[in-house]
Structure 1
């Protein structure tokens, strides 16, 4: 691109990002009454339709649309999906006006600036730029709902669309993310027997019984910290997140419930994590015949890992080196992303996005230099992979 075209493209991506920040797309599953993705889905649909993309609106759940926009190739090339989420976390608690994009000191501020409307703007401009050229493979934009809660948008997209590879443009500080942890949520319920506090002969204290399980849980936590470590992600972990039990001070509690989170690394699965807990519970039950329990797996997300020799990884690394003038770093993330869903469907993928900070925080920003770099790197990656 010429210097004039570079300037025009930079203005285009900053303008687009500003428009996206100004739209309230906070997730109603996080804060009831929030508007969700309808308005921002309408906006990106119009923007991409004007640039010749075929627009598909997926809305199994009314008011929670995802948009798939496709620039068809001439044939015989590889298809690439660029994935990004339309929703943000809540606006309340943000310092200042969360819907007013502010450019200051080389950054752009506003709710979603970092997580992840910067990625949306970069991938939309990159795809539109390459769509104007000759390309053999299809360029697919998946602009999805609900990533911040249950990833329903990407799940809905993958029921109808696929690609030869994918890039999720979540923020990654201009580093190429090729692995992340998974998670499993469990609920352990320990049963006691209610009675008046004056009748210990009739009551069984479910909270006290739960303490024996928590001792075993602490032991497991230490074992995980000292055990197998993934080269990028480190060790798996487990912690008790919530606990509830009892009715009143003068009664023996009939039930105590503990909610747990297990963070997993490649090689660990929801099934292996459940087996760990069942071992602890069985050991307590063997020692204490009055120990009665139930274990329920609530929700899980698998780990993600891709190999360096995947063509999409090499295409992204090569583009990054050309744009940045240096080799891009590789990273693993401790949190879960939609990369896991894409990988489960057999789509090689990675995560790559801007520098900045403040995700889910009172102040959120993205670096404009990194926004420009990500836009250029995505443009070159799409062009190389799809032609």
Structure 2
């Protein structure tokens, strides 16, 4: 198969979180053309497997993409899937339709000479909004190892920090801004909380680095410029590392938040027949540097050391099935979510070969070879 053409088709199949069906159809068509029998599960994930045996390697990634923003800000149309000067442009080129196309090509190569064991392809929904697809699939997955195609410039990755979304609500009392003494303005209290957060102590992990505490949103209700607000809110994006407890972080924020209600909200997501509700806590993930499967993958790739991502992924949910999750994806991660998103076509082709090579070697080791 032509991995670049498949990736371009996927980019043209717009698939926001919750609307992955167009990308799923492309993957189904491409897989069927290769002789596979892909299926959609109850959540809308695309899945099929090759080979037989006791051990299994999973090739996985997500179909959804973040919004493209103003198309006029893009050098190339965000959903055009254009190849220019050896680079494929568009939303999802890096994050992560390019990886899905490369994984599909790797499956074709593996099927031509089946390894001793199973290799499963899994393309999931809603990674960008909490991981419903991987959370659902992990309940039945039985893979020993997983290759997750989030962008890494084809460097092996072994983990990342987690994320907690914390909100603080300050209650006020409405009044005319010309007579503020008749109400209660919550904004000064919120401002003092923001100032206190600048000195908020964060943990440091030897592999994942320092946790971070970043206010990302401030709002008030009603949104009128001549009214003392009845509510002021701030959202804090806290990136945490293993050893930190989300509840303990929450309690520490409450100590400096005054009279605010400080909490981690829950979200409810649905896809197909599946509905899930979960708090906005996205765990960290880390495989030890000396894990045998890390060493195996590094040897297969000819690399010396695995890195870590600076963003969160579906790895914790996939790992809950018992799989050792390793990261490997084409594309510069710093181009993800930007208007410059693009990936070198040569890197897509190299990714297909890398997924095949690493899958074969992992199965050899899992089988005692």
Normalising TM by the smaller chain, what interval?
Answer: 0.7 to 0.9
Give yes or no for contact 1:127–1:382 (8 Å, CA) kept in 2.
no
The alpha-carbon deviation at position 162 of structure 1 amounts to 2.9
Residue aligning to 2:356? 379
Deviation at 1:369, TM superposition (A): 2.8
| Contact 1:310–1:348, Cα closer than 8 Å, also in 2 | no
For 1:186, the equivalent position in structure 2 comes to: 166
In 2 relative to 1, CA 201–134 (structure 1 residues): closer, same or farther, beyond 3 Å? closer
Query: How is 1:257-296 mapped onto 2 (pairs within 5 angstroms)?
Result: 257-281=233-257, 284=258, 292-296=259-263
Structure 2 distance, partners of 1:13, 1:246, is: 49
Aligned partner (choices 110, 114, 122) of residue 90 of structure 2: 110
Task: Measure, in 2, the Cα distance between the counterparts of 1:54 and 1:162.
Answer: 19
Residue 23 (structure 1) aligned to one of 13, 29, 32: 13
Aligned to 1:334: 310
1:363 aligned residue (340, 349, 352): 340
1:4 is aligned to none
The structure 2 residue matched to 1:237, chosen from 197, 202, 212, is 212
1:207 matched to 2:187: yes
Please report how far the alpha carbon of residue 386 of structure 1 lies from its aligned counterpart in structure 2 after TM superposition.
2.6
User: What residue is the counterpart of 1:69 in the other structure?
Assistant: 48
Match of 1:140 in 2: 120
2:75 alignment partner in structure 1: 95
| Long gaps (5+) in structure 1 | 1-10, 30-35, 285-291, 322-326
Separation in structure 2 between the aligned mates of residue 313 and residue 109 of structure 1, nearest angstrom: 31
Q: Are 1:186 and 1:259, in contact at CA under 8 Å, matched by a contact in 2?
A: yes
CA RMSD, 1 decimal: 2.4
Structure 1 residue 57: deviation in Å?
0.6
The 1:296/1:50 distance shift into structure 2, 3 A limit, reads: same
How many residue pairs were aligned?
A: 345
From the superposition, tell whether residues 97 and 258 of structure 1 become closer, same or farther in structure 2 (CA, over 3 Å).
Answer: closer
Shift of 1:359: 1.9
Structure scoring higher RCO (CA < 8 A, sep ≥ 6) equals 2
1:168 Cα deviation from its structure 2 partner: 0.4
Higher radius of gyration, 1 or 2: 1
- Deviates further, 232-241 or 174-183: 232-241
- Name 1:297's counterpart in structure 2: 264
- Provide the rounded CA distance (Å) in 2 between the counterparts of 1:46 and 1:196: 61
Q: What is the TM-score of this pair, normalised by structure 2?
A: 0.84
Instruction: State the alpha-carbon separation in 1 of the partners of residues 14 and 260 from structure 2.
Output: 44
Q: Aligned partners of 2:11, 2:227: CA distance in 1, in Å?
A: 52
> In structure 2, how many angstroms separate the alpha carbons of the residues matched to 1:100 and 1:244?
36
Distance 2:4 2:190 in 1: 54
The answer to whether structure 1 residue 80 and structure 2 residue 60 are counterparts is no
Q: Any conservation in 1 of the 2:142–2:322 contact (CA below 8 Å)?
A: no
Conservation of the 8 A alpha-carbon contact between 2:17 and 2:65: no
Question: Quick one: structure 1 residues 214 and 110, their matched pair in 2 at CA, closer, same or farther if it must change by over 3 Å?
Answer: closer
